[in-house]
């Protein structure tokens, strides 16, 4: 391991949560941040563990604000020969590190840390890998992932919590100042007793200190009222946040199904489920708790056939979809946000059409999902 690798090895031990394609992997943690609150964002670029790599030539990271073809170079790690780490291009106050072991080229990584990211850090970050396989062929795969700013998203709870911490820090500082002023006032009172000849001056100083103490106490009371207001608002936000998560994702795993008109479309394979509220054998979701839910379905149907379906609640249609194409498979989606009580049933009902297609080359092209919002 090189000296450069020893210094940066621990900075690169990040659980992969980004994107991968071919021989490249990219990771951004966290992939969303709040300017002024988030302390730092870590990005890493590395080769895929599944590739045939005999010699790693280079790792490079770019940044694109819009995801278009224009890319700004952010950092480059040349691993062929003596490892060389370069920083250039985007001015994001970033620190860059790299790790490389010539006996294990797949373990190499290029890491970038963005401390205190501002809104300017948002964009698409691309990992570019250049390597030779055991046949001497050159490969240049790349992959990108997005880093998003929460500055304009629905991030009020995070903002309130950060503001509450700042106000409490201010309150601690003011309390400390009050203690200091009170101690000083007591000292002046002692001097007043000991130095009778300076009584007039000490009395004036004491009056100023008393006024300052009063001002500080008034400020502390104002801060306490703001803290109380924020705590009340946080309690309200907690009340609308569900204590029990409810969500599911199901899809049709066979090549196609042909349910009858007015019959349930049964999405027979569950890929994600927090409980047993959705039945993969009947295609029916049964509300486990009262609340507001969101449901989404996508149907891929036979070409040249008019196909329609609907999301129903207790047998009543709440939204529907319709698809038709002269030449190719056609797909349509529908979604709904509804209020449910315990045991209300939600299902997708076929209205017209013939075949509904399921999995295609590993892709789920007919699916049904739902989640509890609040």
Residue ranges per structural domain of the chain: 3-149, 156-239, 247-372
Position 11 pLDDT exceeds 60: no
Residue-level pLDDT at 67: 62
Mean pLDDT, the chain, rounded, equals 84
> Residue 331 and residue 360: Cα distance in Å, rounded?
13
Position 161 pLDDT exceeds 70: no
Mean pLDDT value of segment 290-319: 94
Tell me the three-class secondary structure of 204-237, residue by residue.
HHHHHHHHHHHHHHHHHHHHHHHHHHHHHHHHHH
> Residue 232 and residue 130: Cα distance in Å, rounded?
55
> Residue 284 and residue 261: Cα distance in Å, rounded?
16
Mean pLDDT value of segment 185-205: 79
> pLDDT digit string (tens) for 35-90?
878 889 999 999 998 889 999 999 999 988 776 677 888 899 998 877 888 877 66
Fold of the 3-149 domain = Immunoglobulin-like (2.60.40)
Determine how β-strand 32-33 pairs with β-strand 142-149: parallel
> pLDDT digit string (tens) for 103-138?
899 999 999 999 999 888 889 999 999 999 999 999
**Higher model confidence: residue 207 or residue 318?**
318
> Residue 362 and residue 34: Cα distance in Å, rounded?
36
Mean pLDDT value of segment 191-209: 79
Residue-level pLDDT at 337: 97
Q: Write down the CATH number for the domain with range 247-372.
A: 2.60.120.40
CA atoms within 13 A on the CB side of 309: 33
Among 22-36, 80-94, 220-234, 266-280, name the one with the lowest average pLDDT. 80-94
Residue-level pLDDT at 1: 39
Residue 350 pairs in a beta bridge with 309
Mean pLDDT value of segment 172-188: 88
Position 9 pLDDT exceeds 70: no
Count of other CB atoms within 10 angstroms of residue 92: 19
Tokens (6 digits) for 85: 């780490």
Residue-level pLDDT at 64: 86
196's CB contacts (< 8 A; 6+ apart) are none
Residue-level pLDDT at 14: 39
Position 369 pLDDT exceeds 90: yes
Determine how β-strand 109-115 pairs with β-strand 356-357: unpaired
Tokens (6 digits) for 350: 């076929």
Same fold, 3-149 and 247-372: no
| Percent share of the chain, pLDDT over 90 | 44
Mean pLDDT value of segment 138-144: 92
Tell me how far CA of residue 300 lies from CA of 129, 307, 321, 336, 358, in angstroms: 37, 9, 11, 19, 8
Q: Are 46 and 59 in contact (CB under 8 A)?
A: yes
**Higher model confidence: residue 158 or residue 10?**
158
Residue-level pLDDT at 19: 55
Position 145 pLDDT exceeds 50: yes
């Amino acid at each position: 391991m090189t000296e450069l690798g020893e210094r940066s090895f621990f900075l690169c031990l990040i659980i992969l949560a980004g994107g991968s394609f071919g021989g490249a992997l990219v990771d951004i943690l966290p992939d969303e941040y709040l300017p002024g609150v988030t302390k730092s964002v870590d990005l890493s670029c590395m080769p895929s563990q599944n590739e045939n790599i005999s010699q790693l030539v280079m790792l490079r990271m770019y940044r694109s604000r819009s995801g278009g073809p224009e890319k700004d170079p952010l950092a480059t790690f040349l691993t062929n020969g003596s490892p060389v780490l370069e920083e250039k291009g985007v001015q994001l106050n970033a620190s860059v590190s790299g790790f490389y072991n010539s006996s294990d080229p797949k373990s190499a990584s290029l890491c970038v840390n963005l401390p205190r990211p501002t809104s300017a850090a948002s964009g698409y970050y691309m990992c570019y890998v250049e390597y030779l396989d055991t046949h001497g062929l050159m490969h240049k795969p790349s992959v990108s992932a997005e880093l998003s700013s929460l500055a304009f998203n629905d991030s009020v709870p995070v903002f309130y919590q950060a503001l509450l911490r700042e106000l409490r820090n201010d309150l601690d500082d003011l309390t400390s100042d009050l203690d200091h002023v009170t101690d000083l006032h007591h000292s002046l009172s002692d001097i007043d007793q000991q130095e009778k000849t300076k009584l007039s001056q000490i009395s004036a100083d004491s009056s100023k200190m008393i006024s300052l103490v009063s001002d500080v106490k008034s400020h502390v009371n104002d801060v306490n009222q703001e803290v109380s207001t924020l705590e009340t608002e946080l309690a309200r936000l907690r009340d609308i946040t569900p204590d029990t998560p409810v969500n599911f994702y199901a899809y049709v795993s066979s090549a196609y199904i042909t349910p009858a008109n007015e019959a349930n479309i049964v999405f027979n394979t569950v890929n994600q489920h927090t409980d047993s509220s959705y039945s993969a054998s009947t295609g029916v979701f049964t509300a486990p708790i009262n609340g507001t839910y969101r449901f989404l379905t996508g149907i891929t149907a036979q070409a040249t056939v008019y196909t329609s379906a609907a999301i129903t609640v207790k047998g009543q249609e709440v939204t529907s979809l319709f698809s038709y194409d002269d030449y190719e498979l056609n797909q349509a989606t529908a979604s709904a946000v509804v209020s449910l009580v315990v045991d209300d049933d939600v299902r997708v009902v076929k209205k017209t059409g013939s075949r509904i297609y399921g999995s295609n080359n590993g892709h789920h092209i007919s699916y049904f999902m739902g989640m509890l919002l609040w």
